[in-house]
């Protein structure tokens, strides 16, 4: 049961991060870290990676027990 809970929590957090990346893309928000502009491609990669990790976590939660 602990593994399933961990996967659901991880999937939820990864989904939230993916949504933040998608919102940045949708609204064309600029991000600067220490005066350096972060390119929009970073959010595309971030959305794909975190979205994939979220899907993987939810799939593992489903497989590890009764969903």
pLDDT in tens, 14-64: 999 999 999 999 999 999 999 999 999 999 999 999 999 999 999 999 997
CB neighbour burial string for 6-15, b if at least 16 within 10 angstroms, e if fewer: ebbebbeebb
If one counts the domains in the chain, the total is 1
Q: What residue numbers bound the domain in which 11 lies? A: 2-63
What is d(CA 47, CA 1) in angstroms, rounded to the nearest whole number? 29
Q: How far is CA 49 from CA 12, 19, 54, 63, in A?
A: 14, 12, 9, 21
Rounded to two decimals, the pTM is: 0.88
């Amino acid at each position: 049961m602990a593994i399933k809970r961990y996967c659901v929590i991880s999937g939820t957090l990864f989904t939230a991060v993916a949504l933040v990346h998608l919102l940045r893309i949708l609204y064309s928000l600029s991000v600067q870290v220490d005066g350096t502009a972060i390119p929009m491609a970073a959010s595309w990669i971030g959305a794909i990676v975190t979205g994939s990790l979220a899907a993987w976590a939810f799939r593992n939660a489903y497989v590890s027990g009764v969903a």
